[in-house]
Amino acid sequence: MIKHTTSLRVRYKETDQMGVVYYSNYLVWFEVARAELLRNIGRTYREIEEEMGLRMMVLEAECRYKSPARYDDLLDIACSVTKLGNSSITFTYRVTRDLDILAEAETTHVFTDITGKPKRMPQILREVLS
């Protein structure tokens, strides 16, 4: 299983009036973690889009929040590839602060062409993700 951890510090603008990170920011962080995982294995979103002519559309996203993150917290977002389908890929995420698990999530993406028509994952990409 491919795994990569990205660290980030919570910015003030990501918090709500209660000083807690607003829930939708986690989805942005998951995108950052996915992009860094791909970069870490030698591929980028740009290559997938421009060279392979593919898009990775989000089909499903689920997040379980366990404990709040707050301004200036240093977080680690671990991202793993957990399932490869013919034209889909599933990533899991774990957001931690020190040893505390703050959130666990999963996103499933479908590969499509530029028009949104589902496409099979190219073998070269499958090989680096396996």
Instruction: Please identify every residue annotated as catalytic.
Output: 16
Q: Are strands 88-97 and 55-65 parallel, antiparallel or unpaired?
A: unpaired
Q: Determine the Cα–Cα distance for residues 14 and 89; give it in Å rounded to an integer.
A: 28
CA–CA distance, 59 with 52 (Å, rounded to integer): 20
Cα–Cα distance, 97 to 15 (Å, whole number): 16
